[in-house]
Structure 1
Amino acid sequence: MRAPRIGLLSTGVLVSGCSGSQSALNPYGAPAIHVEHLIVGIVVLSGVIWLLVMVMLALALRRGRRAETEGQTFEGRLTMAVSAAVALTVAIIAGMTIASFYTTRSIGVPQSAAVTITVRAQQWWWQVIYAGSDGTPTFQTANEIHIPVGQDVRLQLESADVVHSFWVPSLAGKQDLVPGRSNDLLLRAEKPGIYRGQCAEFCGLQHSHMAVMVIAEAPSDYARWITSQRADAMMPADPDAASGQAAFLAKPCAACHTIRGTQATGTTGPDLTHIGSRQTIAAGLLETTRGSLAAWIADPQTLKPGNNMPMVPLTSIELQNISAYMDSLK
């Protein structure tokens, strides 16, 4: 397995385990490696075919000129060459089809996957739902998927609105998310790191701003993260954050978002219980800092036009306090 690379996203978030931008030729998981082998095989074969065609074309042109000067004909040879080319084309297409079939079979989702996570696509963000051992949802996050290294993870993919496509090239192939239907995808990371993904199906105005981060951690670190995420939000100790919590609950924010441990139980927008611990906000648009949180809250439509979050009238003090509260939700 190749050594992880490290890159920097446009948001400033450090991305390890990949080249900094998603690439199917930079795999760090078994499903992605199978896909890479298929891609490389098809590209190499196509290159060889192109070279053969160019050689045959050059020979045909050369012999054609000679035939014109010597009055020769090559109808019989031409028929044989065309017939051989047709037979070779059929064999190549059949071989590619078989290779694609076996690649698809090799990346199927096993029934014994260690972790099952539901990923529900929204316009334009990813709702990530973790369930307990009995299958009952225990907590939600947004735009980030934490997984244990070296273990098979089954993603149950759903869509709440239009057709989306989930793609983290360094870890797996693409899979569509279709309204009214559930599709599965196998995810497996062999190296710890942060792997960037993207919606790969045009889904509306902000399709290009619908990124997802897969954070692969050692099993012990993953277990600690699960424990921390299951906990309710802590009561803010900082006076500004405490005032921000009061303002958040008094404003329409609480009608759209959930913060476990408070009266905010909205389900329209992302769960914000631990938003301060996430790498980015707005599906990879901004790095999670107090300043970017304040900018987003103040005017989400300017930063990401067409998203479903309305601009809530706030005073400058309320904005400062609410952003302090969001930043404290680790």
Structure 2
Amino acid sequence: MVRGVHGALIAVALLISGCNRRQSALTPFGVEAAATLRLSLVLLIGAVAIVVAMLVLMRHAIRTPGGRLTHHQGMRLVLWLGGIIPTILLLALLIWSLPAMRPLPVKPDTLRIAVEGEQFWWRVTYRPAGAAPVESANELRVPVGRTVELKLTAGDVIHSLWVPGLAGKMDMIPGRTNSLVVRATKPGRFRGVCTEFCGLSHALMAFDVVAMEPAAFDGWLAGQRRPAVSGDALFARHGCNGCHAIRGAGQGGAIGPDLTHFGARASLAAGVLPMTTANVAGFIRHPEKTKPGVRMPAFPHMPEADALALARTLQGLK
């Protein structure tokens, strides 16, 4: 018995050690995630209390001599412990949890951010009220204390967005727009993932979530509206502008991620690789080595010197 309890405790400790502050529902930074954690803790405490009560009753029943409990007493015990008390507890829990199920209210001035899942990256478009939209990729920034409505869809197959510390999961379905309303409560850099199998690189489809103070977020969004002028001819020579756009560098495509402020991102390939010159150059020439099944074409014919030069140019887009 003791060994079994010790084994269970060790297993729980190992599971908890796998959590971290960047991607864990146990360290919420959003209103909905905090409410979910409170509800989970209440349910856990209730479950433990029920198990302990059942063990006490079982021990009492085993040690009590036969004939001490009449049929009438037994039926009354079953009625109270099996019917009345569980009904009261479940009804109280339902009434207590109903407010937590109500979504956050959306007002006309609520910041709306469109997030579209692609194989295997994220298209993020900020749509502030009364201003032009701003497109980015593989990074989601939200202001602390402000309500944000995420408009979720998918461009190819079903994806699912989950930021454990911010809110619950929400599917992203082609041809349909789902709405997820969130509000961050503290600043920091966190991590989100795709939780619906969407292809070979499903497990390599992550993104950073940056919760910022409102003034800092407004300044950042204003900076994102400015074009990033690039005079490097390699981008057009190798046909990169057929799929990618850099505002201020001429006409570009919209098939792949917008690279206007690419160098300001902390990672590339949707949260898979650190933002280094070698990683950028390697991903340009052989993206399939990092992400199997990726739709970006490989450029093995591109000279390594050109790839490094192009990588340095892209890193300078901030």
Using the size of structure 2 for normalisation, the TM-score is 0.85
Distance 1:254 1:52, change over 3 A: same
Q: Would you say the 8 A contact 1:301–1:307 is kept in 2?
A: yes
Q: Would you say the 8 A contact 2:112–2:128 is kept in 1?
A: no
Equivalent residue runs for 1:60-209 within 5 Å? 60-63=61-64, 66-67=65-66, 75-87=71-83, 88-105=85-102, 107-112=103-108, 114-134=110-130, 138-209=133-204
Distance 1:141 1:52, change over 3 A: same
Equivalent residue runs for 1:198-277 within 5 Å? 198-236=193-231, 242=232, 246-277=233-264
What's the CA shift string for 1:243-265, capped at 9, x where partnerless? xxx22212232221111222452
What's the CA shift string for 1:280-299, capped at 9, x where partnerless? 11111011121211121121
In the alignment, residue 158 of structure 1 is paired with which amino acid? T
Equivalent residue runs for 1:241-320 within 5 Å? 242=232, 246-312=233-299, 313-320=301-308
Aligned equivalent of 1:3: none
CA distance in 1, matches of 2:137, 2:244: 12
Structure with more relative contact order (C-alpha pairs < 8 Å, separation 6 or more): 1
In the alignment, residue 325 of structure 1 is paired with which amino acid? T
Q: Would you say the 8 A contact 1:113–1:154 is kept in 2?
A: no
> Once structures 1 and 2 are overlaid, which stretch shifts more, 157-166 or 90-99?
90-99
Give, in angstroms, the shift of residue 33 of structure 1.
1.9
Equivalent residue runs for 1:311-330 within 5 Å? 311-312=298-299, 313-330=301-318
Q: Would you say the 8 A contact 1:149–1:218 is kept in 2?
A: yes
Helix, strand or coil at the partner of 2:50: helix
Distance 1:255 1:36, change over 3 A: same
Q: How many residues align?
A: 298
Give, in angstroms, the shift of residue 119 of structure 1.
1.0
CA distance in 1, matches of 2:194, 2:81: 40
Distance 1:37 1:78, change over 3 A: same
Distance 1:42 1:202, change over 3 A: farther
Q: Would you say the 8 A contact 1:109–1:154 is kept in 2?
A: no
Query: Which ranges in structure 1 are unaligned for 5 or more consecutive residues?
Result: 1-17, 237-241
CA distance in 2, matches of 1:75, 1:310: 77
What's the CA shift string for 1:124-153, capped at 9, x where partnerless? 2211001243475x2211111122222111
Give, in angstroms, the shift of residue 275 of structure 1.
0.6
Q: Would you say the 8 A contact 2:199–2:293 is kept in 1?
A: no
Give, in angstroms, the shift of residue 329 of structure 1.
1.1
Give, in angstroms, the shift of residue 98 of structure 1.
3.9
Give, in angstroms, the shift of residue 207 of structure 1.
2.2
Q: Would you say the 8 A contact 1:108–1:185 is kept in 2?
A: no
Helix, strand or coil at the partner of 1:173: coil
Aligned equivalent of 1:12: none
CA distance in 1, matches of 2:41, 2:159: 26
What's the CA shift string for 1:208-227, capped at 9, x where partnerless? 22222121222222122112
What's the RMSD between the two structures over aligned residues? 2.3
Distance 1:99 1:122, change over 3 A: farther
Distance 1:323 1:97, change over 3 A: same
Using the size of structure 1 for normalisation, the TM-score is 0.82
Give, in angstroms, the shift of residue 305 of structure 1.
0.9
CA distance in 1, matches of 2:183, 2:73: 53
Aligned equivalent of 2:54: 53
Q: Would you say the 8 A contact 1:109–1:184 is kept in 2?
A: no
Helix, strand or coil at the partner of 2:257: coil
In the alignment, residue 247 of structure 1 is paired with which amino acid? L
> Once structures 1 and 2 are overlaid, which stretch shifts more, 123-132 or 276-285?
123-132
